[in-house]
Amino acid sequence: MADDGGGAAQPADDEARWAAAQSVLDAAPDETALGRLRRFRLLTWSLVLGVVLLVPAIVALVVVTASDAFLPATEPSDGWVVAGLVCQGAGLLVLAGYGVIAWRAGVFRGAWSQPAAVLDRRQRRALLAQVRGRAPVDARRLPLARSAAERLVLQRHLVLLFVGLALQQVGRALSSPSTLQLVLTAVTVLVFLVGAVLLLRDAHRAEEFLRAHPADDRRGADRSDPA
């Protein structure tokens, strides 16, 4: 049957992506999956490199154009300087702890070969909606939904990363208080706090999903799937 405008091609492409994602989950990626994973890794490294190059450039620009805002209104006492250094040291310890815990939990090992990497945004959102209880569970996609839920559970370790970075920023504000440092600290702490709450909420929902839909039992998904 002819395609009159691309409408018939979309379901076929969807099925190809689902099949590719399943092949990655089965540790036997097909050619389509391998190609998509390569593009995913290239895009991820490009974004990381862009951030690494862009952030220092932005900081340098801010320092040059608003150097007075970095200067403390009054010279901080030795006590505040020491407190700031201690806070930054605590932040480094937390960051180191995050690295160890995340490595042991397998956060980094599966980052480059996760099945969701070969899906498009709409499909990833559909899986997350099932995990979060916002959509009926599709028994055909249960293994992929479980994989997405397991990644959400692992991401709870990012809270340690947030805490470490926040402590670093608070330490800088304590040892060298200034208008800009205080503003940056308030914004940083607020953003990390909101991010931590969202991460923990998603991790909790993902754990509930995994308990409700064990890997060896699709009956829960069949009951949830109106089809």
- Taking the C-alpha atoms of residue 94 and residue 103, their distance in angstroms, rounded to an integer, is 14
In a domain, 158, yes or no: yes
pLDDT at res. 31: 81
User: In this predicted model, what pLDDT tens digit does every residue of 169-188 receive, in sequence order?
Assistant: 999 888 888 777 888 889 98
- Taking the C-alpha atoms of residue 83 and residue 162, their distance in angstroms, rounded to an integer, is 20
What's the domain count of the chain? 1
User: In this predicted model, what pLDDT tens digit does every residue of 97-141 receive, in sequence order?
Assistant: 999 998 888 887 777 778 888 888 899 999 999 999 999 999 899
In a domain, 182, yes or no: yes
pLDDT at res. 225: 46
What are the tokens at 14? 């969807």
- Taking the C-alpha atoms of residue 53 and residue 50, their distance in angstroms, rounded to an integer, is 5
DSSP 145-192: HHHHHHHHHHGGGHHHHHHHHHHHHHHHHHHS--HHHHHHHHHHHHHH
Question: Is there a contact between 209 and 149 (Cβ–Cβ < 8 Å)?
Answer: yes
Angle of CA points 211, 212, 214, to nearest 5°: 65
pLDDT at res. 221: 44
Between the two ends of the chain, the Cα-to-Cα distance in Å is: 26
CA atoms within 13 A on the CB side of 58: 6
In a domain, 5, yes or no: no
Mean pLDDT, range 21-35, rounded to an integer: 83
In a domain, 6, yes or no: no
Mean pLDDT, range 192-205, rounded to an integer: 94
In a domain, 193, yes or no: yes
In a domain, 4, yes or no: no
In a domain, 141, yes or no: yes
DSSP 90-127: HHHHHHHHHHHHHHHHTTTTTTTS-GGGGS-HHHHHHH
Confidence of residue 215 (pLDDT cuts 50, 70, 90): confident
Question: Is there a contact between 220 and 149 (Cβ–Cβ < 8 Å)?
Answer: no
Q: Is the pLDDT of residue 195 over 60?
A: yes
pLDDT at res. 24: 85
In a domain, 33, yes or no: yes
Question: Is there a contact between 131 and 148 (Cβ–Cβ < 8 Å)?
Answer: yes
Please give the model's pTM, rounded to 2 decimal places.
0.71
Q: Is the pLDDT of residue 222 over 70?
A: no
pLDDT at res. 7: 42
User: In this predicted model, what pLDDT tens digit does every residue of 131-175 receive, in sequence order?
Assistant: 999 999 998 999 999 999 999 999 899 999 999 999 999 998 888
Q: Which domain holds residue 27?
A: 12-224
- Taking the C-alpha atoms of residue 145 and residue 95, their distance in angstroms, rounded to an integer, is 30
